[in-house]
Structure 1
Amino acid sequence: MAYISASKPSHFKPRVYSELSRFSNPFSRKSLYFFCSSSSPEPPIDTSLTSSNSTPNPNSDATISPFPDVPESPKVEERANRRIPGGKHRNQETLENIICRMMAKRAWTTRLQNSIRKLVPKFEHELVYSVLHKARNAENALQFFRWVERAGLFQHNLATHLKIIEILGRASKLNHARCILLDMPKKGVEWNEDFFILLIDSYGKAGIVQESVKLFQIMEELGVERTIKSYDSLFRVIMRRGRYMMAKRYFNKMLSENIMPTRQTYNAMIWGFFLSLKVETANRFFEDMKTREISPDVVTYNIMINGYYRVKKMEEAEKFFVEMKGRNIEPNVISYTTMIKGYVSVGQLDDGLKLFEEMKSFGIEPNAFTYSTLIPGLCDAERMSEAHNIFKEMVGRYVAPKDNSIFMRLISGQCKAGDLDAAADVLKSMTRLSIPTDAGHYGVVIENFCKAGVYDRAVKLLDKLIEKEIILNDKSTLESSSYNPVIMYLCNNGQTEKAETLFRQLMKKGLPDPIAFNNLIRGHSTEGTPDSAFEILKIMVKRHVPSEGSAYKLLIESYLKKGEPADAKTAFDSMIEQGHLPDSSLYRSLMESLFEDERVQTASRVMKTMVEKGVKENMDLVAKILEALLMRGHVEEALGRIELLMHSGCAPDFDSLLSILCEKGKTIAALKLLDFGLERDCNVDSSNYDKVLDALLSAGKTLNAYSILSKIMEKGGVTDKSSCEGLIKSLNEEGNTKQADILSRMMVGGNKTIGSKKGKKQASMA
C-alpha cells in the first residue's frame, strides 16, 4: 500500500493502486463445536464444511474465490520511507489508516467529509475496500460506505457490498445489512448465493433463526439459485438452536430438488441430532451417509465419538474410535481428547492415561483442551503425583489451559496432599504461562503454610501479594478466612502494621472478617499502639462487626500502660455498649488510673457502672473515691453513689467518712452525710455525732449544729451533754435565744419533751 507522510499530506503525488490481490473466501466454515457450552471448555472439533460438492483436500488451506471476475482482496504495497535530509526518517502512515483514524476521532460531519476528500484525489477500489476493512467500528464503515456512494465518489461492486454486509453482520447490525443486500439490484449489482449465505449465518449467530429461514425462502422467490452451500448454512443455523424436525423437513426438500448432500452436510446434521440428544436419528443418518457411498472422515467420527460420550455411552464411543482406525483414518488430537474426556467422566482414569500416552507415541501433541480434561480428573481422584507430572509437561510446552480453575484445583489438591512445594510451584508456573494469579490462589497457599508452621514462606508470599496489590485487582470472590492464620501470626509477632495493610486491602473488597479485626486490635494493643487499635475498633462498630471482650481488655490495658486513662475510659464505654462485661480487675485498674490522674468524677462513673453490673469487689477503692468526692465538694454525687451502694447491699463505712470529714474541716459535707444517714436510719456511732457538732461549732455554724442535733435527738440518738451546753451558749451569744430556749427545754424534758407534738413543732419552727 502506498504511504503518505503524516506531516506533509499536501506533497502527495497522485495515488497509483496496484492490482487487487486474491480475496480470501469469506464463506469458509469454522469448526463445529458440537455439544459445546460456554461454561465449560470443549475440544474444538474440526468439522470445516466446504461449500462445494467435491471433497476438498484436507491438507490444503487454499480457498476458491466466489468472484472470478472481480479482484478478491486489496494487495498492500509498502513504499520505502522517503529519505529526509539529516539521515532522519519520519513515521509514515497509509492513507486508509489516516482516514480510519479521522473517522474514529471525529464526528461524522460535512467538515470531516471535506477533509477526507482533500486527502484523496480519486477513490479507487483498493482504497475503499481497505477503509471498510480497517474501520475501527461498524458504524464508521457504514457511514463511509454510504457517503462515497451518495456523493458520487465511488460505485460499489460485489466485493465492497460483500465486505460491508460481513462487517454489519459481525456487529449484529442486521437490518442495515439486509437493506443493503436487497437494494443491490437497484444499483445494477447482481446477487449471488454467497451474499445470502453470509446473512443467514449472521442471523443464526444472533439467535434469530426465523429470519435465517425467511432469507433462505426469499432466495427462491428472488430467483437466486440455492445449492448445497445454502442448505449447509441453513442446517447449521437451525440445528444450533435444536430445530431438528425443521432440519429433517428441509433435508427432504433438498433431496426432492435433486441436490445431493455432501460429507459436510451429513456432519452438520449428525452434529445437530446429537446436540438435541437424538442419538438414534444421528446413527441412522450416519448409516445413510455410508449407503450413499459418502465416506466418513475424521470429523465425522469425532462427532460420533463426542455424541456418544455426551450420553455416557463410552462403549459405543470406543466402537467408533476402533472403527475409525480400522478404516485407516488417523485419529487427531480432537479424537483422543474426546475419548480421554469420556473416560475421565466415567471414572476410567487409567484408560484415559493410556490414550494420553498413545497419542504422544504417535507424535500427536496434546493441546490445551487435552490437559484441561485430564488434570481435573486426576485432582478429583486425589492422584496428585500424576497430575503434577502432567502439569509440568504442560508448562514445559508453554501450553495454557482453557479453564483457569484448573490452577486452583491443583493448588488445593497439593495442599490437601501435604505437598506445599508443589502448590507453590503452581503459582510460579502461572506466572510463566502469563496467567494472572489472584488473591484466592495466594490465600490457599498462605493458609496452608501457616498450618504447617512455615510462617517465613507465608510472609514472603504475603509481601508479594501486598506489593503487587493483587487483592485490589482481583475481580473474583475472596474468602478472607484464608488470610486469618497469617494475620494472627503477624499480630502475635510484632508485625501488626503489615497485617493491617493486608487487611485494609481485604476490606476494600468488602470482606469484614471478625477474627481478623479482633486480632488486629490485640496486635496493636500488645505493641503499644492503642490509637491504631481504636481506629480498627471504630470501623468494627460502624460496620456492626462483632467484637471480643478480650480484645477490648488488651486495648484498655494498653492505654493505661501509656498513662492515658481518659482514652482508656472511652474504650471502656465502647466495651460496655457492645455488651461485654469487664472483670473486677479491669474495673480496679481503670479506677486506680483515673484516681491517680485526679479524674475522681470519671472514676466515680466507672464505680457506678461496676456496682450496677453487680461487681462487689474493690470496696476499698470505692471508699477512697467516695472520700475524694466529698472532700472536693461533689457531695450530691457522692450521696447518689452511696445510695446505689446501699441498694446493692454494699453500704459504706459512715463512721470512717464522718470522722475524716470532720478532721479535714469539711463541715458541710459531714453535715449532709450525717443527715443522709439519719434519714435512712443508718448505723452511726454516737461519738461521730459529737464530732460533727463540735466541728460545726468550731466553724461557727451554730444553726446547722442546732438543726442536726434536733434530728439526732428526734431519732433517739445520744450526744455528749457538754456538746449541747456548748451549743446553747453559742446560740445565746449569737442572739438565737429562741432556739437556745427550745434546746434547753428539750434537754430538761428529755425524751418526753422531745417526743411531744409541741416539742416537735418547736423544733420544726427553729
Structure 2
Amino acid sequence: MLLLRRRYTHLSHHLSPPPLTLASPQKQPKPKPPSKPSHSIISQLINKNPNWSPHLESTLSPLCSNLSKTHLLKTLPLIKSPSKALNFFNFLHNSFPHDDQTYLSMLQILARTHNLNAARNFLFSIIGKISSNGSDRFFNTLIRSYGKAGLLRESVRVFNKMKEIGVPRSVFSFNSLLSVLLRRGRTVMAKKLYDEMVSVDRILPDVYTFNTLIRGFCLNSMVDEGFTFFKEMSRSGCDPDIVTYNTLVDGLCRAGKVRIAHNLLKGMRSKSSELNPNVITYTTLIRGYCEKQSVEEALEMFDEMLSRGLKPNEVTYNTLIQGLCEAQKLDKIKEILQGVSDSGEFRPDTCTFNTLMNAHCNGGKLDEAMNMFDKMSDLNVKPDSATYSVLIRNLCQRGDFERAEELLDQLLESEILLKKEGCVPLVAAYNPMLEYLCAVGKAGKAEKVFRQLLKRGTQDPPSFKILILGHCKEGSFRGAYEILVLMLRRDFVPDMETYDYLIEGFLRKGESDFALNTLERMLRSDHRPKTSTFHSILAALIRDGCAQEAAKLVTVMLEGRIRQNINLSTDTIIILFKSGIRDNAIEIVTALYSSGYSVNMEKLVGSLCQDSKFLEARELLLFSLEKHQNLDAELYNTVIKGLCKIRKAQDAFSLFYEFTEKGFRPFLTCLKELVISLKADRRLKEADFVSKQITYRIQDQ
C-alpha cells in the first residue's frame, strides 16, 4: 500500500501542471501575411505606369529573373493595356524561352481587344519561331477575329497568306473562313472555298464543316442548298449529329416550312436511336409555329416536349411567350407564368420582360412598358441592349427625345452594349436616336454609341451615313472621314450624297488633300462624280500648291474621260514647273493634247519666262510649233533672248531655226542678241547664218 502511494505521488508530480508564475508569457511570432503572387505584383506595376519605359524595365528585371511559364500566362491577361502587354512580352524575349503556348496567348490578347493590325504584325513576326504543325491555330485566331470585326477582306487575306508562306491549311482553317464568309452572306465565295478545300487541298470535311455550311446557307434563305450539303455528308463518310438536324429544322422554320421541319423531327427519331430531339429542336419548332401565327400547334409542341420528359429552358418559355404576345393571348401568358412561378421551374428573365415590353409598345401602351422596365429593377432583373432599344425607339417615335436620351445615358454609363451577355444589339434600332443626336449637335455622343455597337460586331449601313452627315453638319469633317473609312473597310458602299457632303465640307475648310482622298474612295466605290466636283477639287489643290496631287487628278480625269478646264489644266502645269517637277509637267501637256485638249500656252510660257525657266519654255514652244499652234511672236523673241542671257546659244538658235522654218520672223533686236551670243559661244557658222538673216531683213525694209 505504501509502495503504491509513493508511485502515485511520484507519477502525479510528473503529470501535474507547473506552478503559475507572474512572469509575462513569451510573445508568439505573428504569422506573416501571405505574399502576393508574382503575376499580381508584375501586372500591378505595369498598370500603374502610364507608359512603357527603360525605368520600368529595370524595375521589372529582378521580378522576372525566374518567371515561370505559368506565371507569364497568368500575368499577360491582367495587364490592362494590350500595347503594354506586348511590350512586356517582348521585354522577356532574351531571358524567357517563349513557346507556342505563350505566343498564342499574346496573339489572342491582341485579337480579343480588337488590336487586329498589331495582332497581324505580331503573327508575321513569329512565323519562324512557332512549330509548323500547330501554326494554323494562330492564323485561325486572326481569321475569326477579323471576321467578328466585320473585316471580311482581311480574313480572306490572312487565309491566302497561309498558302503564300507555306503554312499548311487544315480543316480548322477552312472551317474558320467558311464561318466568316457565311456570316456575311458570301455564299458563292463559301461554295468556291469548299470546292477548293476538297479538290485542291484534298482536305476531308468534318461534321463541323457541314454544320457550318448548312447553317450558313439556311441563314441566307438557301435551304435547298443546305439540304444539298446534308446529302453530301453521307458521301463524305460523315454522320449527321443532333446539331445538323437542329440546323436544318431552324433553316426550314426560317423559310416558313414548319411542317417539313416537323416531319424532319419525326424522321430523326427513325434514323437512329441515338438521335433524339432535344430542347433546342422543340424550341425551334415552337418558334417556327409562333412565327406562322399557329399558336395552337406551338402549344401542342410544348406539351409533346413535356410528355417526353424534356424540361423547357428560358429560351423555350420566352419563345412561347413572344408568340402568345403577337397573338394577343395575354391570358394564356399569365396562365403559363403563374404555373411556372408556383413550381419554381422558370423565373421571368430579361428576355421575358423585353418580349412583354415590346408587346405593350406594339399595342400603343408605352407607359405600361416603362412600368415593366421599373419592375425589372424591383425584381433585380438586369436590362440588356434589347431592353433599351425597344424603349428608346418607341420614345423617339412618340417624340419624347429627352426621356429617350436619359435612357441612352444609362446605357452608355453601364456599357451594356459592350457586354457579351444578352441579345446582340441591333444598330438599326438605335438609328432614330442617332439621328436626333446628330440633329441637335451631339454627333460625338452618337458616335460613342455607334462605336460600342461596332465593338459587338453589329453594323448597319444607314447608321454610318447618319453619323457622317452629323459630323459634317457640325464641321467635324475629319471625324466624318474616319466613319467613311470604317464603312468601306466593312464592305459597305456610301452613296453619292454622303461623298458629296464630305467633299464639299473639306473644300470649305480648305483641306484639299482630304477632298482628293474622299474623291478617290468615291471612284473606287464605282460612283461617277459630277464634272464640277473634279474641277472644284483641282482648283483647291492648285490653290494649296499641291502639284503632284493636282497632276494625279488631271491624269484620273483624262483616264475617266472627264471634261477638262483649260485654265485649271494650265495652272496645274504651272505649279508642276514651279515645284521643279518638269518631266511630269511635260507628260501632262502631252497627255492633254493627245486627248484633244489644250492649255493656255501664252500664259504657261509667260510664267516660265518670269521664273527664268527658258529651257522649259523653249521645249513648250517647240511642242506648240509641232502641234501647229499659233502663238504671239513676242513669246518666241522673249524665250530666245532669255536663252541667250543664260548662255544657251545653241538652244536659242535651234528655236530660232524652227520658228523661221514655220514662216515666222523674229524681231531684229532678238536676232542681233542671238548673233552676239553665238559668237561668244564660238558658233560662228550659226552666227553667220543669223547675220545673213538680219541683212535680208534690212534689205527687205
> With structure 1 as the length reference, what TM-score do the two structures score?
0.44
Structure with the higher helix share, 1 or 2: 2
Greater radius of gyration (CA): 1
> With structure 2 as the length reference, what TM-score do the two structures score?
0.47
Larger RCO (alpha carbons 8 Å, 6+ apart): 1
